[in-house]
Amino acid sequence: MDIQQYYEFCLSKKGVTEHFPFDEDTLVFKVGGKMFALSSLKEWEKGTPSLNLKCDPEWGEELRAQYESIQPGYHMSKVHWNTIAFNGDVSDKMMCELISHSYELVFKSLTKKIQNEILELEN
């Protein structure tokens, strides 16, 4: 997966917006105003991209044990976030599954009102 594929996949989700809330380097994708994915553009340029994604804590532990490329979230809650290195032992298909999982966790945490507003925007 390259940066364009990552970018397009995240933006293909309902109600997703892109932001740079921390600095000019950290690209953040949000749904309903809440982060679900973030990545350093400089690391993509250096050829060492990684991605921070929200994850169910129990599944996160399993993933960290199963994949060398999945570590506790860098600069994030180590319980609820993972950092996944691209170009490692995580396939593109699995990376998409992890991005979708993060999106769904955040979407489900939104109020019903915001969820419905997002769903209505897309119809």
For the chain, what are the domain ranges?
3-117
Asked if the model's pLDDT at residue 27 lies above 90, the reply is yes
Q: State the DSSP code for 73.
A: P
* Confidence (pLDDT) at 98: 98
* Confidence (pLDDT) at 76: 87
Q: Would you say domain 3-117 falls under CATH 3.90.1150.30?
A: yes
Mean pLDDT of the chain, nearest integer: 94
Position 35 confidence tier, pLDDT thresholds 50, 70, 90: very high
Burial 25-59 (b: 16+ CB within 10 A, else e): ebbbbbbbeebbbbbbeebbeeeebbbbbbbeeee
Position 122 confidence tier, pLDDT thresholds 50, 70, 90: low
CB atoms within 10 A of CB 6: 22
- State phi, psi for 115 to the nearest 5 degrees: -55, -45
